[in-house]
Structure formats: C-alpha cells, structure tokens
Amino acid sequence: MLVNFKFKNFLSFKDENSFTMKAKADKSHEENLIDTVAGKVSKARIIYGANASGKTSFIRAIEFVKAFVFNSNNMLNNFKIAVRPFKFIENADNIPSEFELTFVKNSIKYIYAFSCTKERVVSERLDIFYTSKATNIFERSNTTEYKFNIKDVKELSQIVTKNLDNKLFLVTLASWNYEKAKPVVDYILNDLQISYNNNSPSYSFDTIITSGEYEDYKAFCLRILNNADLSISNITYETTKVKNLPNNNGLNNFIKVLSNGNEDTYNQIMETNAYTFKTHHIIENKETKNEYVLAIQEESYGTQELFNMTTLLYKVFKDGNILFIDEIDRSLHPLLVEYLVKLFLDADINVNNAQLVANTHDTNLLNLDIFRRDEIWFTERDYKSGATELYSLADFSPRKNENIEKAYLLGRFGAIPFINGD
C-alpha cells in the first residue's frame, strides 16, 4: 500500500511536492481507511486541476520511477536516463530530480529514495522498518560513494562493483539475489499500476486466459458492466493467431516497426494470440425473450471504455495493488465514474485493500458524502514561474456540510482555469 510519494524537479513540478495517502485526524468516512503498520491510509484519492496544471505530470512522475526500475538493468555506460526535469530554470539538465516512495508490503514499511540527472544516479537510499525504527540498508551519495548496513557489508560491497553510474543500485541488488531489495522492486514493478485514458496495457486478457482465471474474470466483468446498468448477460471470445488475422497492411507494417527489423521478434509477435470479444444481450419483446450477440466494437464507446478497464481492475482488486488513472472520466457518464470510484470504497468488493489515485474534471465527485477532506487534492500551476503545486482540500479546513463542488467552481480552492474574457 502506498503511504507517501515525494518528488521534485520533474516536468512542471519545480519544488518538492508531497502526496500522501496517510489519513489526517478526521473522523469522517473511517470506512475509507486501511489500518497499516504505517498508520491509517486511504483507499482512494481524487485530483482536480485546470488543463495543463500538472495532473498528468504527477502520474508521469510515478511512471518514471516504475520505468527506471524496469529499464535499469539494460542501462549501459553511455545510456541516458529518461528523466524530464523542470525546464524553466538555468542549467536545468544538471539539477538532480528527486523521488521518494514510502509504502507497506507484507506488513513491513519501506522508504526508497533516489535522485538523478540524465547522466547519472546522484543519490539513493533504502530504509526498512522491521520495527518502529528504520534500518538503513544502503545509502549512496555522489554517485559512487556507498554506506551499507553493518550486517551486510561484505555481500553489498561485492555487488556494488556490478553497478554503473546510471543504474539504480536497488535493481542491481535484486538482480544479484539480495533478498532485502526484491520486495521493493516487486512493489514498484507489480503493485504500482498506471492507466492512461482507461487503457489496461499492463495486464492483458491473454494473462487471464493462460492462468486459468477466465471464469473468475468473467464474473467480475459482468458484475461491473451490469451494475453500470448495461443489459449484457454474457461475454464470449474467440482466439486466433495474429498471423491469421485478415490481411491488414497497416497492422503488418506496425508489427515490422515494432520488431525493429528483428525477424525472430516479428515471428514471435505473429504467433501471439489475438482475441475478439462478443457481448450477449437478452432482449424482451412483449412475451418473448431473445438473445442477441454484438461484437464489442458495436457497443457504445462508453461501454467499450468500461470493458477495456476490466482486466486491470480485476488484477488490482485481486492483488491489492494501487491504481493510478489519468482522466478517469474519459467517455464515461459522471455516475459511472462515481460508481468506479466507489468500487474501491466498497469493503465487499475491495477485500484486498486496493487503492485508487485518479485525476478528473468531473466535479460530481467533489462531495464530502463520498470522500474525506484529505482525499480530495488539487494541482495549480503558477503561469508566471511555470511551476505546479500539489495540495489537499484538508489544507482549507472546509465545513463538513459545505458544498465543495460549488466552492471549487467559484475558485475558493484554486486549481481552476483562468479564462481571459478579452
């Protein structure tokens, strides 16, 4: 479970911004909270802000941490780190960007932090809380200076020779089977799930099929769709190989580009499974009932969007992950967006304490009957300096019976677009 995420000098975020899932001393909606060794944390956070205020940049910061961990082992000496610092200052590329994650995994609290430029990792630190006091596993400074936990000095000193200036030592440790680093890498790669425009790239339908989970997934999917008031009684699929799809020069050319001229990669992609989905509807006409079958592409765009989310939602709820969604309201009715958010707050569905962080323009969710005050966040960009600030509704101490939606649209909390009337 995520507790805190701090970051600095990334995209539109110039100064340190701290985003927390940790609950403040507020007695409202305690059913929204999860008890952890790090204190009580929320199941959901929602973020508002004007266009170009930094809502997506916040999610990009989490995505960068995940991507850097994923790619670190592939870094060679001359490879650039794909960090994107705040650009509106002098010498921007030489100022380190900073990131710090605090999370709980398997009832143990971890803090992992690093800073980097495009050329090198400048600093790095891992603390593990086996008790209420932190145990520092390693600390890296000035790129090549390391301090190690006294119990593991010999083992870590040997592994440090395998690391490079532009690689995360955490990943090198995990790759060389240092057990204390593995849960951190696992959390970042597998527990942090990210979705843009309600797509589910990180958990495919093929994974569900090959792991024998289709019936469980289908039951989950139908529950989601039918609770959203859609008359779908069944979902079926057909399987074919990519190479057997109808001739499509555009698809074939795309696969050639994707394989980068590598024949083995091209053939491997062509041998993968492709799935076509059909929805079944029971339609009543006077005294008769008939079943009609539609291709998923014949459904409304909103239904397709909801269906596209179900594989990732299935994984997130099954594994108790944290899901970051950019533009959760895309192509969905406000009541459907509210329904999706409430899935995370529903103890009967969210039995494994999954978490949601989503940004939106849908002000229907600015409602203290749904959220606690510390669960609503805003991004506001200073258009003179170009820098974004991330802050919580709790900073304003609104009354519990206040109309938050109205107050927001009137500009009380900032984070709304400035529209020039000239």
Judge residue 177's burial from the number of C-beta atoms within 10 Å of its C-beta, 0-12 exposed, 13-18 middle, 19 or more buried. exposed
**Cβ(159)–Cβ(151) under 8 Å?**
no
Task: Of 129-133, 220-224, 304-308, give the lowest mean pLDDT range.
Answer: 304-308
Q: Give the per-residue pLDDT at 114.
A: 98
8: CB partners within 8 A, 6+ apart: 14, 15, 16, 17, 97, 98
Q: What are the beta bridge partners of residue 129?
A: 109
Q: Give the per-residue pLDDT at 153.
A: 93
Query: Is this structure's pTM higher than 0.85?
Result: yes
Q: Give the per-residue pLDDT at 333.
A: 84
Structure token pair of residue 315: 């994984």
Place of tokens 């440790």: 173
CA distance linking residue 356 with residue 44, whole number of Å: 5
Tens of pLDDT, residue by residue over 310-365, are: 999 999 999 999 999 999 988 788 888 999 999 999 998 999 999 999 999 999 99
* Amino acid at site 357: V
Judge residue 4's burial from the number of C-beta atoms within 10 Å of its C-beta, 0-12 exposed, 13-18 middle, 19 or more buried. middle
CA distance linking residue 105 with residue 352, whole number of Å: 12
Q: Give the per-residue pLDDT at 404.
A: 93
CA distance linking residue 130 with residue 107, whole number of Å: 9
CA distance linking residue 379 with residue 393, whole number of Å: 11
Mean pLDDT within 114-131:
97
Q: Give the per-residue pLDDT at 248.
A: 67
Cα 349 → chain centroid: 19
Structure token pair of residue 33: 């909270």
CA distance linking residue 296 with residue 276, whole number of Å: 8
Residue 198 has pLDDT above 90, yes or no: no
Q: Which of 103-117, 147-161, 243-257, 267-281 has the highest mean pLDDT?
A: 103-117
Q: Give the per-residue pLDDT at 157.
A: 94
Residue 254 has pLDDT above 80, yes or no: no
CA distance linking residue 296 with residue 311, whole number of Å: 15
* Residue ranges of domains in the chain, CATH in brackets: 1-197+327-422 (3.40.50.300), 203-312 (no CATH)
Mean of per-residue pLDDT scores for the chain: 91
Q: How much of the chain exceeds pLDDT 90, in percent?
A: 67
Mean pLDDT within 379-406:
92
CA distance linking residue 53 with residue 414, whole number of Å: 11
Q: Give the per-residue pLDDT at 171.
A: 97
Strands 288-295 and 121-129: unpaired
Confidence band, pLDDT 50/70/90 cuts, at residue 200: low
**Cβ(32)–Cβ(371) under 8 Å?**
yes
Q: Give the per-residue pLDDT at 316.
A: 95
Residue 125, helix vs strand vs coil? strand
Confidence band, pLDDT 50/70/90 cuts, at residue 88: very high
47: CB partners within 8 A, 6+ apart: 55, 58, 357, 358, 359, 360, 377, 378, 379, 390
**Cβ(3)–Cβ(22) under 8 Å?**
yes
The span from the first CA to the last CA of the chain, in angstroms, equals 48
Half-sphere CA count of 310, side-chain side, radius 13 A:
24
Around Cβ 270, how many Cβ atoms within 10 Å?
15
Sheet holding 355-359, edge to edge: 192-196, 322-326, 355-359, 44-49, 376-382, 387-392
Structure token pair of residue 96: 């380190």
Tens of pLDDT, residue by residue over 26-74, are: 889 999 999 999 999 999 999 999 999 999 999 999 999 999 999 998 8
CA distance linking residue 367 with residue 339, whole number of Å: 13
Mean pLDDT within 257-285:
85
Mean pLDDT within 370-392:
94
CA distance linking residue 55 with residue 53, whole number of Å: 6
Residue 201 has pLDDT above 80, yes or no: no
What per-residue string of b and e applies to 387-409 under the rule 16 or more CB within 10 Å gives b?
A: bbbbbbbbebebeeeeebeebbe
**Cβ(117)–Cβ(93) under 8 Å?**
yes
Cα 137 → chain centroid: 27
Region for 63 from its dihedrals, namely left if φ exceeds 0, alpha if ψ lies in -120 to 50, beta otherwise:
alpha
* Phi and psi angles of residue 132, each rounded to the nearest 5 degrees, phi first: -70, -15
